[in-house]
A and B are shown apart, each in its own frame.
Chain A
Amino acid sequence: MKKTDEKMPSGAETKLTGEERAPEKTAQELASEIGEKDGLKEELFRMCRQNHVAALSAAVILIIILLAVFAPVIAPYKEAEQDLMSRLQGPSMAHLFGTDELGRDVFSRILYGARVSLIVGIFPSIISLVIGIVMGLLAGFIGGWVDYVIMRLADIMLSFPSLLLTMVIMYTLGRFSNSIVCIFIALSLVGWASVSRVVRSQTLSLKETEYVEAARSIGVGSGKIMFRHILPNCIPSLIVLYTLSVPSSILSESTLSFLGIGVQPPAASWGLMVNQSKQFLFTQPWLALAPSLAIMVIVLAFNFLGDGLRDVLDPYMKTQ
């Protein structure tokens, strides 16, 4: 849309058709013009058909979710079931990925660990998305000092190296509750700033459009304009932002757990499992390999999916 406007030649000129003059089309515009008027759903279907990597990633994510939900059914052993007789065993039929130093089945722990990763990946991102949306809408819509304060706050949040900020919040919360709740809260509080920036900039540009002006002129309230007229237009970029913030949350959790300040034993978390297997890295490398690969697969799947979604939904958003 915007691109088309810019290409319109301006100035005095002989009118050719009188009706409307389409600008000189580039290949891309031609291509998009021909098949553009699709809805969100059609776009997603189109992505699945054309971008096989993204479709595959979606399938992988679905499988991981199913494995996590049905972990107690699928897992051959319990999460913390120890068998000191069979410690540090290599992969076998009885223990697909071997056993750790306490004789726990690595495969079962991976399945349970998927729960932690998914919970920590999916939910805090939603909370920070909501906070970010509210902040961004307020900043963009009200403007003035509200905008200034919220945006400086976002600047401050974005200045902190995210891992260190999470560590500080973990330090503070560490006294009150169990570690997974702490991670939950910490990740929720860290991610909103970048969301609010995106929402704000879109709000600012949408605020000036005719249809918002029109809505306002017939007396539609601010709240309604924000949530009925502006927010729906942000949804494509928000979907992309969300899909890409899930893997970064998963990475944060695994990193915190790896450093020993995240999920605490005996709970199973992939990061924690890598941490515990670190000392056996040179003798039993498979111990570290299994959870590492698990992290990589899930993060990669979300990243590929987010990338695919961005191509379809948000061609103008830059890689960040």
Chain B
Amino acid sequence: MKVILKRFLSIIPVLLGVIVMIFIMLRIVPGDPAAILLGEHVSPDTVERLTKSMNLDQPMGVQLLSYIWNALRGDLGMSYTMKRPVTELILGAFPYTVKLSLMAAVFAWAVGLISGIIAAITQNRIPDRLFMGFSLAGVSVPVFMTSLFLQYMLAFKIRAFSLTSDGSLYSMILPAIALGWNSAGSIARMTRSSLIEVMQADYIDTARAKGLARRAVILGHALKNSMLPVITMMALQLSSMMSGAVITESIFAIPGIGRLATEAIQKRDMPLLQGTVLFTTVIVVVGNLIADLLYSVLDPRIRKEA
């Protein structure tokens, strides 16, 4: 219990740091946000009024504190370009991103685990080399390339899928594969190396000496142990999936959070950018926390301490 609580508390400085960092990075930009928000043809008077109402005349420290306070209450400010609350925009886009990343994760895990296991049990033989070469290629291909390739082959040539996504599960298959591709490669590599390491352990000899066949040893003894580091990996994948979502969403025209972030930066919409980055980062941090807790559930040695 104590360990879990401690882990919970440890994300607080990180979250605060994240907010402060985003704030600092975005507010050192010179230029008057109020003027940008209002556009070009307005009187200085109007700009000044808005500046006051947005607290932009206050010292930086006060602005930061009020931003944190507002963020904690769920208020991330108004979007310059869409003239709507950032929180509302993000919550509207969130379900799409969740759907996309979940599907991508399922794909990545299924493909990554299976090919990792096959590679591990055929270590240094042809299937292993094949899968590992393939997975390294998977890791080396940028997400936008996979997306365009899938679009060209499966949507344009074969016409099995639509070019863009309308939000339905079926139309999300292509973007999900494109997004999960890299992760599948990393998971395969991690699974392989972890499984190979576990297969060297003494208790594998014990299991073999008991008379268990290879398959039973792998499924019953090795796999569970080898999954522990792979679970940590899962958290890292969450972060890269959020990055990848920016690209897939823009290519397949999915109105998710990544799309919001791209639009925000292209239209220089500071509050929107600030909000989307903050939101995705919080998701990553919480995802890491969940992975850690899951780890301690699976490993009885840690569970006991918890």
- Give me the interface of A with B, judged by CB distance under 8 Å: 26, 53, 152-153, 155-156, 158-165, 167-172, 175, 247, 251, 254-255, 258-261, 271, 274, 278, 281-282, 285, 288, 292, 295-296, 299-300, 303-304, 307, 318-320
Contacts and interface: CB of A to CB of B under 8 A. Distances in A.
B266 A254 contact: no
Main secondary structure of the interface of A (DSSP, over half): helix
B116 to A, nearest CB: 10
B163 to A, nearest CB: 9
Given A26-B200, A156-B17, A300-B136, 20 more contacts: A153-B17, A156-B21, A160-B277, A163-B243, A164-B242, A167-B246, A168-B273, A170-B265, A247-B140, A251-B140, A254-B142, A255-B144, A258-B142, A261-B265, A281-B148, A295-B142, A303-B140, A307-B136, A318-B193, A319-B186
8 contacts: A159-B18, A160-B277, A160-B281, A167-B277, A261-B262, A281-B151, A299-B142, A319-B186
A292 B26 contact: no
A161 B284 contact: yes
A24 to B, nearest CB: 12
Contacts of B120: none
A152 B143 contact: no
A26 B201 CA distance: 12
B276 A164 contact: yes
A285 B13 CA distance: 49
A292 B148 contact: yes
Interface string B153-172: 00010000000000000000
A109 B185 CA distance: 30
A274 to B, nearest CB: 7
A285 B46 CA distance: 51
Given A156-B17, A282-B156, A296 B141 contact: yes
Interface residues of B, number: 59
Nearest to A189: B25
Interface of B: 13-14, 17-18, 21-22, 25-26, 28-31, 133, 136-137, 139-145, 148-149, 151-152, 156, 186, 189-190, 192-194, 200, 229, 233, 236, 239-240, 242-244, 246-247, 250, 261-262, 265-266, 268, 270, 273, 276-277, 280-281, 284-285, 288
A71 B21 CA distance: 40
Contacts of A162: 239-240, 243
Contact of A299 (B140, B156, B244, B266): B140
B281 A159 contact: yes
A156 B25 CA distance: 13
B262 A259 contact: yes
